[in-house]
Structures are given as structure tokens and as C-alpha cells.
Amino acid sequence: MNFEIKENVLEAFGDIYDGDGSLFVSALSQLEQKEKHINIKLHTYGGSVFEGNIMCNAISNCKSEITIDIIGIAASMGAVICASVEDVYMVENGYLMIHAPSGGGFGTAQHLESNAKLLRSIEANFIKKLTLKTGKSAEYVQKWLVGDNWFSAEQALDEGLISGVINSENNINANFNPQELPTKEAFARFDALYNKNYFNSKNMDLKKELIKKFNFSANTSDTKIIQEIEDANNLKTSIIELLGLAEDVSNDDILEAIKNQLNEQQTSTDSEAKDLTTQAIRNGQITAKQEKHILGMFKKDFAGTKSFLESSPRKNPMVIAERIVQGTVNNSNTVAKPKSEWDLNDYRKNAPKELEQNPELYQKLVKAKYK
């Protein structure tokens, strides 16, 4: 179902699908916050009973005064929604249709009996709403749930289903009797006449294009399509702001900017991965032969591989003393003496335990120093 707000008017057009109840509640709440009187313009074949009940409950609990104008057809659950409101009006060329709830199912006999019990419960709720609306007995109203029962504006007024008849918003002259046609065919014919006058015919072509573009099913509601488009537009706006692009940038330019951004990020990531891998080799955490494998791991899971290296033990820490022993550059940037040239002071500074464990070496160094 498609919902649109215009000042204090809430237009509700189309079939009632899953999720439409919540969308209706949201739209009605917006109007309730700022309008004391809300006018709902309704044109629907009906649809989901449970979503329709959500709409009924929202209307019943609304603090604003609500009227419903049936500007086309109010069939099935649409008629039940109208029964939830005291002030209901119908255009002179509109129709209202009442029938029993229906559904299908499969499974065991117990499953089917349970479904039948649910339908009976829904039917009883329909009867209660219609008796409260019209003031007629349950026995009288129950006859309306046998088959499809169509009411013209005058007939609906006589039965107490509506409060009055209003002028039509479009000049529609239906040259068929809805009671002589299957329900869906009757609605389809009237809907075609109504939409031809009320809606731009290009909207149907646009809807087909959108269904194809977003890969929707053929019966996707207008509300769902609109929501997906809004989400896509919001995402596009966020991307434009994030990349610092002009508001009128084309989709192709957006994709190119995203591609460039991803390439820059990948280059930066690859460089960091290389640095981390090189450092891990120096620390003895991995061997040089493992470098290619680790870089491949970085491409698949950068954060996980980085964490793996950080938690790996260092098997070859390059402490200062060892650097001196190996003849590498020390902190003062001077070249250390080879160990073969060490004197007593060098051993005391860099390898005191070796002196303790080798008395002959100690005596030799002492003699060399004090000769």
C-alpha cells in the first residue's frame, strides 16, 4: 500500500501487504502530532487481515478526530477498516465490498483445523465491528460474509456502513455491475478507470522499471518500492558527503571516486602489511620463507593477521649486548671491537659471567692489563 501525507490528509492507496501496518502507524503518528482533524482518503482491494488490524487499532487509539473518504473502492479488509471509524464518506461512484476472511494452507488435519479455527475467529471479529458500526444484528450482518457483497454509495448509506455520500474527485462512469464479476476482476476494472483519471499513467511504467532494477517480485507494494528508493538516495547522499563530491555528481563519477578511494586504501594497507612482515622476520617471529604466505594472509584478513603477529613470541630479540657481540652499530654510532680484541674492561661490561666461569681467561686479561 502506498501512503502519502498532504497537509492533514493521509492517502492510502493499493493492496495491504506485510509491513504496511507499521508504515501506516508511522504516517498517522506524524499527522497526530500536528493535526486535530485527520482525513484518510482510502482506495484499496484489501489484503492482509493482520496488517489491516494494526491499522484499525491505530485509528481507534488516535487522539485526533478521523474521517475516512472512500474515493474509489473499499473492499474486504478496507471495508473492515472503515467500520472502525464513525465518520465515513464515499464518493457517489465508489463501491464498498464485504466478504468473509479467506486463506489457504497445507499440512496435517490438525494444522488445517487450526487454520479454520483462526478464520472463524477473524470472521467473528468482522461481525462484531460491522454490528457496532451499523447497529444491525449479528444474524443480519452475517449474511454479508457469504460470498462477495458489493454496495454502491447509496446502498452503503442505507445499510449504515457510511455516514454520507460526497462528490467524486474524478468523473468515472463504471459500465459494469461489480456483483456480476469475480472480486479481483471487479476491483481491477474499477481501479483501471480510477487510476486513469487520478494517476499519471507513466507511474505504472516507472513502477515496472523500478521492480526490474531492484529485482522486486511483481506484487511488491508501492510502499516497499518507495522505501528502497529512499534508502538508496540516503546512501548516495552519505557517500557524496564522505568523498567530498559535488551534489550533482553523476553515478559513474561516484563509482570512479569509490574505486580510487579503495585503491588508495589497498595501497596503504599493502605497505603496512609489508612493514609488519619485515619487522616480524627481524624479530624472529617468522622466517623469510614464510613472508609470501603471511602477505597472502594479510590480504584475506588484515586485522586477524596483524593480531597473530603481535601475539607471536619473539625468538631472536636484538638486544644491545648481542648487537655489540655481533659487531653491529651501537647507540653511540661507533663500531664495536671484535670479541677477539676485548680487554678486561670489555668483558666486565659485556660478558661478566664468562669471566666468572673462565678463571684462566680472567688471569690472562689481568696480566695483560697490569703488565
pLDDT band of 162, cuts 50, 70, 90: very high
Q: Given a cut of 70, is residue 371 above it in pLDDT?
A: no
Query: Residue 145 pLDDT more than 90?
Result: yes
- When computed from its CA atoms, the radius of gyration of the chain, rounded to whole angstroms, is 40
In the chain, the amino acid numbered 213 is: K
Specify the pLDDT at position 307: 86
* Cell numbers standing for residue 236: 548516495
Is the pLDDT at 332 greater than 50, yes or no?
A: no
Average pLDDT of span 353-364:
82
Range in 80-89, 214-223, 257-266, 270-279 with the lowest mean pLDDT:
214-223
Distance between first and last Cα of the chain: 107
Quickly state the pLDDT bin for 300 (edges 50, 70, 90).
Answer: confident
Please state, rounded to an integer, the average pLDDT across all residues of the chain: 80
Q: What is the pLDDT of residue 138?
A: 94
Spatial separation of the C-alpha atoms in residues 118 and 347, rounded to whole Å: 95
Give the pLDDT mean for 48-66.
93
Q: What is the mean pLDDT of residues 59-71?
A: 93
Q: Do residues 13 and 36 lie in contact, with contact meaning Cβ atoms separated by under 8 Å?
A: no
Average pLDDT over residues 29-34: 92
The answer on pLDDT for 244 being more than 90 is no
For domain 2-199, which architecture applies?
Answer: Alpha-Beta Complex (3.90)
Provide the whole-model pTM.
Answer: 0.49
Task: Assign residue 182 a region (left: φ > 0; alpha: ψ between -120 and 50; beta: otherwise).
Answer: beta
Higher pLDDT, 25 or 309: 25
More confident residue, 203 or 246: 246
On the question of pLDDT at 267 being above 70, the answer is yes
**pLDDT tens string 191-242:** 555 554 444 434 445 556 666 666 666 556 555 666 666 677 777 788 888 8
Distances (CA, A) of 275 to 234, 309, 313, 348: 38, 12, 18, 37
Strand partners, 20: none
- Cα separation, 64 vs 162, whole angstroms: 20
Say if residue 154's pLDDT is above 90. yes
